[in-house]
Structure 1
């Protein structure tokens, strides 16, 4: 992992633990364990840092979905399990990243400059989601609805966790009914 990725991972850590207000170059340097000034060398402004975070998170999402073998020949059960795996990771091992993502969404509601990078990122992930959805007979609208529902499951579990929650049954029902 390069220094830039270390900085971006530190920025996601800050965003997911301290929120957007806590996102400073100094806090990112500290979280990333890099020398003071490193974050500002890569990202001159806070806006550039936020765009970098969004792009980095989209790259990670695309990597996750690219690893989904045989997208064109998937079964409903395989797609449901992969979606459930994403939800489980987002609320457990990737919790800080999940909270960072929610913080970006919330900030975009009052900071219009964040909307375009988020829209671009969402579109890139939607293109992959459309291919996966098509593999089980879903159209573009249905595939987008599945993405929205997955986001909602993650959001609910991050905000109001239910012990032992398993998203798989709900995702199977959703995919079955949309098909």
Structure 2
């Protein structure tokens, strides 16, 4: 993996949204922006009002408790991540080569344009370790990504889809952490490099014919 200049980032979550956007989305986007910029300590109802440009008390009316505000952030984060990681026809594929290519494309798109979302996810994941109610909510939101991956592994002929899905998640999560906030943040791999790595992983799990 060769060193590269840091890729351009997309606008951070919480940027003022077009007219017609719901107030719930506006509040949740502002909450994500604060999480990315200040961490969980900077996430308050008043700060969300200010960031979203809303009258004081608006966020409290929408999410009366801190738990409710965190849940709104988790829900919105899952929606935004689903857009970035949209697999297209990948979910109907049983070809390991197409699966590797699709996963590499989604992962590269995430690493080169949506790292703020990753920072939010890490902040919320750590908070969930201290809040059992948020833990359950966070895990439920994550199911929308895990379950399709198990289905992919099943379609690809995996002898143990649950375990192999976990291995793919662990590889992808490790890659995202290393390249978003870890020691490889200045050396984001190319899409080809990601595809090669994913192919090697699938071949190890599914057999040499994979990919």
Q: TM-score range by the shorter chain?
A: 0.7 to 0.9
- Between Structure 1 and Structure 2, the one with more helix by share is 1
Q: Which has the larger radius of gyration?
A: 2
Residue 20 of structure 1: CA displacement? 0.7
Distance 1:33 1:67, change over 3 A: farther
1:12 maps to 32
Equivalenced residues, count: 179
Listed one character per residue, the Cα deviations across residues 98-131 of structure 1 (whole Å, up to 9, x for unaligned) are 1000111122233333211111112232111112
2:133 maps to 1:113: yes
CA distance in 2, matches of 1:26, 1:89: 33
Residue pair 2:39, 2:123 contacting (<8 A) in 1 also: yes
2:189 maps to 165
Q: Choose which of 63, 75, 99 in structure 2 pairs with 1:43.
A: 63
Q: Aligned Cα RMSD in Å?
A: 2.1
120-129 vs 70-79, which moves further: 70-79
Listed one character per residue, the Cα deviations across residues 36-55 of structure 1 (whole Å, up to 9, x for unaligned) are 32222211111101111112
1:83 maps to 103
Distance 1:30 1:132, change over 3 A: farther
CA distance in 2, matches of 1:40, 1:58: 22
Residue 66 of structure 1: CA displacement? 5.5
- Superposition misfits of 4+ residues, deviation over 6 angstroms: none
Residue 24 of structure 1: CA displacement? 0.9
- Which blocks of at least 5 consecutive residues in structure 2 are unaligned? 1-20, 207-211
1:28 maps to 48
Residue pair 1:73, 1:135 contacting (<8 A) in 2 also: yes
Residue pair 2:94, 2:152 contacting (<8 A) in 1 also: yes
Distance 1:111 1:136, change over 3 A: same
- Which blocks of at least 5 consecutive residues in structure 1 are unaligned? none
Distance 1:110 1:14, change over 3 A: same
